[in-house]
Amino acid sequence: MTNRKIVVALGGNAILAHDASAQAQQQALLATAKYLVEFIKQGDQLIISHGNGPQVGNLLLQQAAGASEQNPPMPLDTAVAMTQGSIGYWMQNAMAEVIAENGLEVDVASVVTQVEVSADDPAFKHPTKPIGPFYTKAAVDELKVAHPEQQFVEDAGRGYRRVVASPRPIGVKEAGVVNQLVKAGIVPISVGGGGVPVVREGNRLVGREAVIDKDFASEKLAELVGADLLIILTAVDHIFVNFNQPTQQRLTQVSVSDLKRYIAEDQFAKGSMLPKVEAAIQFVEHRPAGQAVVTSLENIGEFLATGSGTVISADVRDATRPDDELTTTTHD
Ligand SMILES: Nc1ncnc2c1ncn2[C@@H]1O[C@H](COP(=O)(O)OP(=O)(O)O)[C@@H](O)[C@H]1O
Ligand SMILES: NC(=O)OP(=O)(O)O
């Protein structure tokens, strides 16, 4: 039994690959739950987080399509809370089924989570977070005329998407509640969709129209609950240098200083791998005894058996080496 406290962040493919129907997303989460239950079987204390980019964008479109004066569309902070509810419901339902199949007795509960951001965060003036479906250039040109207030960007060669503000998390209101649930042996689902963005005004937390990056929100939660591990699950088993080039090499063990050097070399795509790398660095800098891992759902078994995946650790000085020499990256 390992009994580590682990925050595991689920990437897009764990919930929505191509089919945005409720049934397809529930099916995907059932497959995801079969991987996650392995941690519980090992005795680890799990905290689950997830993204919501496609879902919250789709929800805004559904809201706009049915809107009237009597039935106004909800603002983005409320839409984020709605996706925390829907995805949380699917996830806890799927986890309960798989937990029962494995003869375990563990409860899973979603926590509607508010994540504090700064009202002055420059991100409010520079939208960068892609949400909802992909569009062609022609479709975007039409949308810009109909909705001059909305902004769109080309997303990694896959088409155009609407972008919204994505401020950095500075606190998680329900972190204490999440910790209480973990202590009670319950698996919490928290900071879904990066958490509902709120700013503090005295005793009030006031919602803001934004979508926080779930990797940064998961990192903040992992810091605040004192996690041993932050595991970021995505579509690739490892982080690569020279990604998608003939010279690509996967990173197995990597130190913070080496990762910072790779960032300076522009090795990680903005909006996809870069936030994961930055979140991993932030976590191990705050908790030097902890580790961050980037890998895929499908590789969880291998990770648990052999440590396979990209494991990011704080720079550790080795007494047998000169003072300024740090642990270095291993490739294979
Ligand atoms: N250097 C890199 N190493 C590995 N993957 C990379 C790298 N740069 C970009 N990527 C891409 O980033 C993707 C993960 O980002 P994204 O799909 O946005 O995450 P999420 O799983 O959270 O939805 C990977 O599947 C891969 O295609
Ligand atoms: N909120 C968020 O980061 O969602 P995605 O991971 O789905 O983009």
pLDDT tens profile 237-293: 999 999 999 999 999 999 999 999 999 999 998 888 999 999 999 999 999 999 999
**pLDDT > 80? residue 14:** yes
Report how far residue 25's alpha carbon sits from residue 231's, in angstroms, rounded to the nearest whole number. 21
**pLDDT > 60? residue 132:** yes
Q: How confident is the model at residue 181 (pLDDT cuts 50, 70, 90)?
A: very high
**pLDDT > 70? residue 321:** no
Q: How confident is the model at residue 18 (pLDDT cuts 50, 70, 90)?
A: confident
In 3D space, the residue among 247, 243, 166, 248 whose CA is nearest the CA of residue 210 turns out to be: 166
Residue/partner pairs of 140-148 with CB below 8 Å, 24 or more apart:
none
Q: Can 12 be counted among the known catalytic residues?
A: yes
| Ligand 2 probe mutation, 29, 211, 220, most atoms within 8 A of CB | 211
**pLDDT > 90? residue 317:** no
The torsion angles phi and psi of 273, rounded to 5 degrees, stand at -80, -30
Q: Does domain 3-7+9-32+43-127+165-213 have CATH number 3.40.50.970?
A: no
Per DSSP, 240 falls in state E
Marked catalytic residue, from 220, 276, 299, 309: 276
Ligand 1 mean position, distance from CA 272 (Å): 5
Phi-psi region of 187 (alpha: psi -120 to 50; beta: other; left: phi over 0): beta
The dihedral of CA 88, 89, 92, 98: what is its sign? Answer: negative
Ligand 2 mean position, distance from CA 157 (Å): 18
Q: What local confidence, expressed as pLDDT, does residue 272 receive?
A: 87
Residue 322 tokens, joined: 């000169």
Q: Are 152 and 176 in contact (CB under 8 A)?
A: no
Q: Which residues line ligand 1 (CB under 6 A)?
A: 11-13, 51, 234-236, 239-240, 243, 267-269, 272-273
Which helix (H) or strand (E) segment is 317 a member of? none
CA-CA distances (angstroms) from residue 274 to 104, 241, 260, 262, 263? 37, 12, 11, 10, 8
Residue 252 tokens, joined: 């197995």
Give the position, in ligand 2's atom list, of the atom nearest the Cα of 193: 1
Q: What local confidence, expressed as pLDDT, does residue 269 receive?
A: 87
Report how far residue 175's alpha carbon sits from residue 182's, in angstroms, rounded to the nearest whole number. 11
47-59 pLDDT, tens per residue? 999 999 999 999 9
Q: Would you list the domain boundaries of the chain?
A: 3-7+9-32+43-127+165-213, 231-315
**pLDDT > 90? residue 236:** yes
Give the architecture (CATH level 2) of 231-315: 3-Layer(aba) Sandwich (3.40)
In 3D space, the residue among 42, 196, 179, 49 whose CA is nearest the CA of residue 110 turns out to be: 49
More confident residue, 118 or 158: 118
Tally: H helices and E strands in the chain? 9, 17
- Mean pLDDT, residues 98-126: 98
Q: What local confidence, expressed as pLDDT, does residue 227 receive?
A: 98
Report how far residue 162's alpha carbon sits from residue 140's, in angstroms, rounded to the nearest whole number. 9
139-174 burial: b if 16+ Cβ within 10 Å, else e: ebeeeeeeeeeeebeebeeebbbbbbbbbbbebbbb
**pLDDT > 60? residue 220:** yes
266-279 pLDDT, tens per residue? 999 888 899 999 99
CA-CA distances (angstroms) from residue 318 to 59, 194, 239, 252, 329? 51, 37, 25, 19, 14
Q: What local confidence, expressed as pLDDT, does residue 331 receive?
A: 62
Domains 3-7+9-32+43-127+165-213 and 231-315 in one fold: yes
Report how far residue 263's alpha carbon sits from residue 284's, in angstroms, rounded to the nearest whole number. 16
Q: How confident is the model at residue 316 (pLDDT cuts 50, 70, 90)?
A: low
Cα-based angle 136, 140, 142 (whole degrees, multiple of 5): 120
